[in-house]
A and B are shown apart, each in its own frame.
Chain A
Amino acid sequence: MQERRWLLEGVERPDADALDVYRRNGGYGGARWRQAAGQDVCALVVDVTESEAGRFRDRKLAERLPHRLIEGALIAAHALAADEVYLCIRADWRRARTVLGHALGEAEAAGWIGRPLGRSGHAVNFHVHPVPGPLPARGGDHLLPNLIECSRPEPRAAFGVDALPTLFGGSVLVHCAATLGYLPSILSHGADAFRVLGGKDFPGTVAVSVSGHVRRPGLFEIEIGTGTFGDVIDDLAGGTVAGGESLAIFCDGAPALKGEAIWSAAVDPAAWSHPGGGPQMGSFGSGTIVVADESVAPIELAAKWLRDAAELSCGQCPGCREGSAWLAKQSRRLRQGGVAGVDLPAFEARLEELATSEADGLSICGHPTVAAQMTQGLLQIAPDELSQQAAPGAEPCTNDGPLRTADSIHLRF
């Protein structure tokens, strides 16, 4: 057990207490690990699902580096003395499931899983738990255990402030897949070596998904604090295809940024209000961005965002259930224009209500809040166009991107 305690303390961040509002933002552990250290944890639940639009970090990890994922999960399970690992992976990622399945077979054949290991003689069993989509994006760590138990995509509100989630009566630790991938190198090279990279509170690297109207969309692993999102788009992703001012949508819950503002958004969770308490408004999350050029109306994007939010919603809380469903309907009417127009003050008021709903305790997981805040951010970029579109008799604004020709597509599998 001594070894395992060192393991748990080694990976936690130095100031875990400050980060106690635990949301699924690519969590580095911290408070949850410390909690788990004092309890009997029966299983590790690995979250290899991602429902945010534009994110493909966990899928790539499962498809390209399955053994890294398995090794990380195995280390974590040993640290927790947990006997079972449930890899919750999206059912529609057939290729990822197949690759992961083969990798698990290889690991089993080599004797790493399913058999007693090392001096402790502790055996860990791996199970792949396919989860159909879509999932509520901000389910937090109470979504997956409830999903395994009840087969419904519903986050279960925790009792008390900080209880570990339970699965069939036993406590479990739910962990994001990507950050588990760091464990093998932390263990091999030591926590101090890991902390050399990145910042004081947020050491290491982050894998950022970039897609949209950029020349080279893809997943880029960046040392934390060494650049801004503008640098990522220009230097790593090859800049926008059409040139001109781009609009960056931060898919984990931050206001969209246009033009110069993208160059002040650091790739550093410490600079963001959530989780680092920094000046940049919004949630850093996994750092996923979708880049749109000037050919797309922000209203179009806002409507899409709300529609996705309504579809991802689980429906337990009335705010999301009634609120985002209503908003999606209104935003569709906005897009389509038409004779009646849209009651803009009512629409904006309802948006504002939903935007404060998480802080107001009116939702379990904060999904309607993120959806509303993102939409507000997008609409604030072009307020004149918004009122034009809401007026009676407006033309439909369906500015979807055109069908591409062969030479305009850059494939990054």
Chain B
Amino acid sequence: MTQICQIEIDGRACDATPGESLLTTLHRHGIVVPALCHHPGLSCPATCRSCVVHVEDAQADRHVVTACNHSVSAGMVLHVEDEDSRQLRSRALAQLLQRHAMDCPTCEAAGECEFQEAVAGHGPQRQPHELQGATDRVQLGTRLIFDAGRCIQCGRCARFEHEVSGTQQLSMQGRGGDIDIVAATTGVDHAMAGNLVDLCPAGALVDPESTFLPPTWTRRSVDTVCGGCGTGCAIRADIDGEGRVVSLRPRHDEQVNGWWMCDHGRYESDADHEDRLALPEPPSPDPETAWQVSIDRLKRRLMQPRSAVWLSPFLTLEEAFLLIEAAQGWRARLFQWAPPEAQEQSFPGGFKISACAAPNATGLQRLLAGSNIQAGSTTDLQMAIAEKQVGQLLMCGGGPAGGRPPLKRDGVVFVAAHDLTGATAADLLIPASHWLEKDGTFLNQTQQLRRVRPADVEMACWDLWPEPSPIWFGCGRQGFGQRWSPS
């Protein structure tokens, strides 16, 4: 039971939790004060001074405090939105603006820049500015550029490097008017570097590949989950006007990924791979009926004896459930594969990159265990093939090429592959959906159930199917337009 106490904010009585920071309390009551050096996932240095508010003491004297590093106590009297407090915050922001490069029109962060919002909402409406010459943009890593003219020396990046990634590849350097950021001699080359771009409140750390993208306000976003590994970070996919995913950013999920995601999930999702299958292969003479023809062919084959289905950890729980049901109708044997075990990467802040490079391996196992169904491993499948017990095989994929273990075909009469690309040799190729296109749920390696929502809607094949319905190939997005039946 959390305690509640009474405090006063601008004359109104409000509830608060004793010990919580003033900033959190104010946010909870819908009062926004800028807080540029503060980040909930990092320690709090209270250096930018833009979150100052007035606190009244017992003698009714007002003192100025920074909301980010002062805690609530019962009976506290706060003055936040009075003229004096606004003036102070405006002065703090004016100081930060003093030598800030005023290149909003061309800045990558424009439209989603915390500093821009803070100044627009709380800063001075005009002030004298020292014009600075253009500053160099320094490449710190493959996808990281530092623009010193925009830096407001908040220190978030240096603290991230110290507290979250533990790599310490960025630090404050110099002092006084010359204080600046310095990178390690290796540059910034660790697996969480992309978070630095999200963290920077002022567009000083940017992704070079975002420089010429259309501005952020032309995009919409979808909340979903990353399918890069078993961690299953909560993410937000930004989508441009043509429905293509432009970038992936982490969302806050306290139980899973905190505030962060890794660079592999962020930059290497690869949904737009040029070899993506759009239609089943071998191609049908009439594209309108291509899907129907291919599925009918698949059903006919798998209904025969000695059939097997090799389940993929990239299937959502819903897809896997329906496929298992269908396989049971076909009396096909079930097998499952998991990607080869990599090294789990742990970071001091608690963030982990899973050793399993697939999103739903745990989910699949739990589904099978819960339904009391046995599914053999890849080795079992290989043995079954060697013993001539498999005549027809459906291999499920949905992950990166080469992720599924190789298999010796060895006398299997009919092989169908459900994949993103046509890389595998098979008698029938059925396009799979990428995790950015899926609509369903994953169970991550820590047994957290999370909803994955379709972000990328570019695949043309969907236009052929007017009625999305939950069916095992794609839960509506890549559906066949008809309810599956075993016969």
Contact = CB atoms under 8 A, between A and B. Distances in A.
Interface of A: 152-154, 156-161, 310-326, 346, 353, 359-364
Given A159-B69, A312-B176, A362-B88, 18 more contacts: A152-B175, A157-B47, A159-B70, A160-B69, A160-B71, A316-B179, A317-B49, A318-B98, A319-B49, A322-B96, A326-B98, A353-B91, A359-B64, A360-B91, A361-B63, A362-B64, A362-B95, A364-B46
Q: Give chain A's interface secondary structure class.
A: loop
B98 A315 contact: no
A361 B91 contact: no
A34 B209 CA distance: 57
Interface string B55-68: 00000000111100
B175 A314 contact: yes
A318 B45 contact: no
Contact of B46 (A157, A313, A322): A157
A313 B95 contact: no
A318 B174 contact: no
A315 B178 contact: yes
Contact of B95 (A154, A159, A323, A346): A323
14 contacts: A153-B175, A156-B45, A159-B70, A311-B176, A314-B179, A315-B176, A316-B45, A316-B179, A320-B176, A321-B153, A360-B88, A362-B95, A364-B46, A364-B47
Interface in B146-196: 152-153, 155, 172, 174-179
B338 interface: no
Contacts of B69: 157-160
Interface residues of B, number: 33
Contacts of B70: 159-161
Given A317-B49, A322-B99, A362 B174 contact: no
B52 interface: yes
B105 to A, nearest CB: 23
A311 B177 CA distance: 8
B95 A318 contact: yes
Interface string B11-54: 00000000000000000000000000000000011111100100
Contacts of A359: 64
A161 B57 CA distance: 12
Contact of B48 (A160, A312, A318): A318
B79 to A, nearest CB: 12
Nearest to A328: B177
Contacts of A156: 45
A5 B92 CA distance: 44
B66 A321 contact: no
B63 to A, nearest CB: 8
Q: Which 6 A-B pairs have the closest CB atoms?
A: A361-B64, A325-B177, A315-B179, A318-B95, A157-B46, A322-B98
B49 A313 contact: no
Contact of B174 (A160, A315, A320, A364): A315
B298 to A, nearest CB: 61
Interface string B298-339: 000000000000000000000000000000000000000000
B153 A159 contact: no
Nearest to B64: A361
Given A362-B52, A362-B88, A322 B177 contact: yes
Contacts of B175: 152-153, 313-315
Nearest to A318: B95
A164 to B, nearest CB: 15
B362 to A, nearest CB: 35
Contacts of A321: 95, 153, 176-177, 179
